[in-house]
Each structure stands twice: as C-alpha cells, then as structure tokens.
Amino acid sequence: MLKGRAGTVELLSVIAFAVALSLDGFGAGIAYGMRKIRIPILSLVVISLTSSTTIGISMLFGHLVSEYISIKAAEGIGASILILVGLWIVLHTWSSNTKKTPDDDNREPSGVQPILNFRIKAFGLVIQILREPTVADIDKSGYLSIKEALLLGLALAMDAFGAGFGAAMTGFGPLVTPIIVGVVKFLLVSSGVYIGKRYAAKWLGGKAAVLPGWVLIGLGVARVMKI
C-alpha cells in the first residue's frame, strides 16, 4: 500500500514538473490564439517532441552525474538546482514586470516572458521568439509550419534544460518524465490556442508567467524534505 502511495506521489510530482515546464507554452498558445494564428496538429507534435528531447538529454546528463556521487548528495544538488531555477524564473518575471512602461501595458501581450538575453547571432531569431512568440510565424502565413514549430519548440525548451538536469538528480525517471512533459506541452499549447482564440484571455498569459517558478521551488523543497 505504501509503495502504491509513493508511486502515486511520484507520478503527481512528475506531472507537476511537466506542467511547470509547459506553462510558457500555454502562454504562447494564448498569444497565437488571440492573433488567429493556427498551429496544426503536426506542428504541435514537433513542439512537444522538441521539449521531450531537450528534457531527455538534460536528464541523461543529470543521471550520469548522479552515478558518481552519493544518492543523498545527488538528491540535494538536484533539489537545489530546481529551487534555483524556480527562483530565477520568479525574480526574472517580477523584474520584467517592474520595468514595464505605460506603453507596454497598451500592447498586446505575448503571454511569455523573455527567458534569455544572450546576443549570439546564430540564436538571434530564437531569442526574438522568446520575447514575442508570434514572431515564429516567419512567413506571416497565419499558421505555424513544421520548421517554424521547431524554432518555437527550441525557444520554449531553453528554460527546461537546467530543470531537467536537476530533476534527474533528484530521482525523476529519465524515460517517463520526458514523455509526460511532451504530452502536457501538447495539451497546454493547444488549450492556450483555443482559449486565446475563443476568450481572448489577455490577462491569463501574464499571470501564468510566474507560476512555473513557484512550482519548481515547491518541488525542490519537497525533495529536500525527503532527503
């Protein structure tokens, strides 16, 4: 019975982790829906697979590192990484909100806060997509092609690399977790598009931006308490 309960708690933790890493996709979906940009099923699959692959790679690295240190040390380091990534997201979101100008309030929100500000020419387009997700519709066709979906998927997956590394070190399954992340990403992006198109929920994307940070912090603290 205890084992069953532990398994349920573990599954819920993985789902919460997946939701935390997919809320930016939900916000991006709202932005696309509000601007009537369609994301075909195949493009949604590409976005989801990109997230799954990124998480899988980062968790593989985390799992390999954890093999060379004690279980408690690995769990402690992993939990600390989750907390630090969560704090970074929260502080960065608050900082972005405090720097808003009155003109920013009159603009149509993108639903996603900038995650990186590196000035690397090769990644310039990806950085711009993070700042304004609808830029991913490069050809202005009104729908997201597979190539454009890959760019958006990479942009949305950037913040997941560190979190995936930490999650693997705390004991999250390196096979199940990426699958769940991909499924949740698919559901939240498609739900965001529907809500943005149908209800034009402008306020929701901005308010959701800080939630991933708090979820990751909560997961990290919960892992620390288990050590």
pLDDT in tens, 66-112: 888 877 787 788 788 878 877 877 787 677 666 555 455 444 444 44
Residue 152's pLDDT band (cuts 50, 70, 90): confident
Query: What is the model's pLDDT at position 145?
Result: 81
| CB-based burial label for 129 (10 Å; 0-12, 13-18, 19+) | buried
Range in 4-8, 56-60, 184-188 with the lowest mean pLDDT: 4-8
Model confidence at 53, pLDDT cuts 50, 70, 90, reads very high
Helix 211-226 vs helix 160-169: angle between axes, to the nearest 10 degrees?
A: 10
Residue 133's pLDDT is 59
Q: Which residue type occupies 21?
A: L
Lowest mean per-residue pLDDT among 15-24, 30-39, 81-90, 92-101: 92-101
Average the pLDDT over 115-123 and give the result.
39
**Cα(63)–Cα(13) distance, rounded to whole angstroms?**
18
Statement: residue 48 has pLDDT above 90: yes
- Tokens representing 212 are 């991933």
Q: What is the mean pLDDT of residues 154-162?
A: 75
Amino acid at 175: L
Let me know how long the chain is: 227
Contact 82, 216 (CB under 8 A): yes
| pLDDT, mean over the chain | 74
